[in-house]
């Protein structure tokens, strides 16, 4: 009878979940056979052995699907790279072959279409910024179609790579219904691929990237729409060139305009964008929320303060914003008097006001490019030569600097990764 129980436990594993029923059968069997302590010990050992065997099988199955998932993830990434590079270079080649103006540019420089297409596609996707022309992409600033073909490659190879990869895996899971894709989506951390993020993180990353692009695009159009950098372009060409330029500020570096003629406010904004890591994400969290009361030794968290704390930027972000605002208010003087009104002097003045220090580079009439007999040196700071709007911004900076201790721990919702 004991042998039959063992045989059943091997053939029908579901009985292992009902060990109490098995034990009752053994007790009932003692009505016909005298109790044997050795048999009881043997049964417990065999039962434990079956449980251990089942746990080993479950671990083996989990490891097996993990290894399969890693292999499939490798195939997905490889396919992702091949499709983007082959498809991208093919589309670029077709565009250049069909558009005479783009083809003539390459012919005048002695560059083959295939060479330019493959080199530019790989460089754009890898965010190297290398282009086989001395002028970078400035010579193609009127070829809006080419810029639009390269624009998605800028994003899917850099800032939006985790979001696109997760969306691709989710799409494959919906189509194929394979367990490996579900495992990848649920256990992304166990696979050890740092570019694979959670669904929420991927979504917030995409929103953050879009927000940065929109903010740069608005500022760029406001400041440069009628500037020298956009001369000779139609409204549509200006629109495409502006999007292409601001998107490239995030680690790619392909340029369709001469950066030296851009306004200082735009350049400072580009500096901030270049400083940020590619996967910078606005990630609101409740882990650092404010505590307002204590009940029975436990803390009650205020969700309103939590939201406000998540929306507040870091101190460095505010300083950069103030520098950009001053560059906007003083943009005319920065063009006419660049030796006095330069970004470095403005940055020193803003940080000095923020720290309530009082240092100033001052203003010197000797540094004027065009001598002005009406200009007189004065014993007051550099801000004394600013416009009314610039002085008002500096007042806000000094007030904010006095209150900085109340926001020193903010900005934690921004994940720089």
Task: Say which residue the tokens 């801000």 belong to.
Answer: 383
Distance, CA of 237 to CA of 247 (rounded, Å): 15
Q: What are phi and psi of 292, to 5 degrees?
A: -115, -25
**What per-residue confidence (pLDDT) applies to 313?**
62
Query: What is Dmax (Cα atoms) for the chain?
Result: 124
Amino acid 13: pLDDT:
38
Q: What is the pLDDT of residue 406?
A: 61
Q: Residue 16, SS3?
A: helix
Please identify which residue in the block is written with the tokens 């006419």.
336
* Mean per-residue pLDDT pooled into runs of 10, the chain (417 residues): 37 39 43 48 50 60 81 93 95 94 92 93 88 88 93 90 94 90 88 88 91 93 89 92 90 82 85 79 55 46 51 71 89 86 86 76 83 78 88 89 65 59
**Angle, alpha carbons 285-288-292 (nearest 5°):** 120
CA nearest 169: which of 150, 193, 135? 193
Please state, in angstroms and rounded to a whole number, the distance separating the CA atoms of residues 267 and 349. Answer: 18
Distance of alpha carbon 174 from the chain centroid: 26
Identify any residues that bridge with 293 across adjacent strands, giving them in sequence order. 300
> What pLDDT does 3 receive?
41
CA–CA separation, 213 and 210 (whole Å): 5
Q: Does residue 108 come out as left (phi exceeding 0), alpha (psi in the -120 to 50 range) or beta?
A: alpha
CA nearest to 268, candidates 204, 207, 202, 347: 347
SS (H, E, C) 58-114: HHHHHHHHHHHHHHHHHHHHHHHHHHHHHHHHHHHHHHHHHCHHHHHHHHHHCCCHH
pLDDT at 290 (0 to 100): 41
Q: What pLDDT was estimated at residue 5?
A: 37
pTM summary value = 0.69
Q: Which of 248, 287, 292 is nearest to 270 (CA)?
A: 248
Tell me which residue of 153, 192, 152 sits closest to 66, measured CA to CA. 192
* Distance from C-alpha of 218 to C-alpha of 226, rounded to nearest angstrom: 14
- For residue 414, the cross-strand partners are 282
pLDDT value of residue 60: 65
Query: What pLDDT does 254 receive?
Result: 86
Please list the alpha-helical segments (H only) found in 225-314: 235-247, 264-275, 303-311
Quick one: CA dihedral 370, 374, 378, 382, positive or negative? negative
Closest to 116 measured CA to CA, from 146, 141, 142, 77: 146
């Amino acid at each position: 009878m004991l042998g039959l129980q063992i045989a059943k436990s091997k053939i029908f594993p579901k009985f292992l979940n009902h060990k109490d029923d098995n034990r009752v059968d053994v007790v009932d069997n003692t009505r016909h056979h005298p109790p044997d302590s050795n048999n009881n010990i043997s049964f417990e050992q065999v039962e434990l052995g079956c449980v251990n065997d089942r746990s080993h099988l479950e671990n083996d199955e989990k490891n097996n699907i993990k290894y399969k998932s890693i292999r499939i993830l490798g195939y997905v990434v490889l396919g992702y790279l091949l499709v983007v590079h082959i498809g991208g270079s093919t589309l670029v080649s077709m565009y250049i072959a069909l558009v005479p103006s783009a083809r003539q540019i390459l012919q005048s420089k002695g560059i083959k279409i295939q060479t330019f297409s493959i080199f530019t596609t790989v460089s754009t996707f890898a965010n190297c910024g290398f282009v086989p022309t001395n002028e970078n992409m400035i010579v193609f600033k009127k070829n809006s179609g080419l810029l639009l073909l390269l624009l998605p490659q800028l994003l899917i190879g850099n800032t939006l790579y985790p979001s696109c990869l997760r969306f691709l895996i989710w799409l494959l899971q919906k189509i194929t219904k394979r367990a490996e894709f579900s495992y990848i989506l649920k256990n992304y951390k166990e696979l050890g691929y740092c570019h694979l993020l959670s669904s929420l993180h991927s979504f917030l990353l995409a929103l953050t990237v879009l927000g940065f692009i929109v903010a740069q695009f608005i500022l760029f159009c406001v400041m440069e729409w009628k500037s020298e950098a956009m001369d000779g372009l139609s409204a549509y060409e200006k629109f495409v060139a502006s999007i292409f330029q601001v998107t490239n500020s995030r680690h790619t570096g392909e340029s369709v305009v001469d950066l030296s003629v851009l306004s200082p406010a735009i350049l400072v904004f580009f500096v901030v964008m270049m400083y940020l890591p590619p996967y910078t994400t606005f990630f609101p969290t409740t882990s650092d929320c404010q505590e307002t009361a204590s009940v029975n030794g436990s803390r009650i968290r205020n969700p309103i303060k939590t939201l406000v704390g998540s929306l507040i930027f870091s101190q460095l972000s505010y300083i950069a914003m103030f520098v950009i605002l001053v560059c906007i208010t003083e943009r005319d003087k920065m063009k006419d008097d660049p030796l006095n009104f330069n970004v470095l002097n403005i940055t020193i003045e803003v940080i000095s006001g923020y720290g309530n220090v009082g240092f100033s580079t001052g203003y010197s009439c000797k540094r004027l490019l065009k001598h002005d007999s009406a200009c007189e040196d004065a014993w007051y700071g550099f801000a004394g030569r600013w416009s009314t709007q610039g002085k008002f911004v500096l007042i806000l900076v000094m007030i904010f600097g006095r209150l900085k201790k109340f926001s020193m721990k903010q900005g934690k919702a921004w994940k720089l990764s």
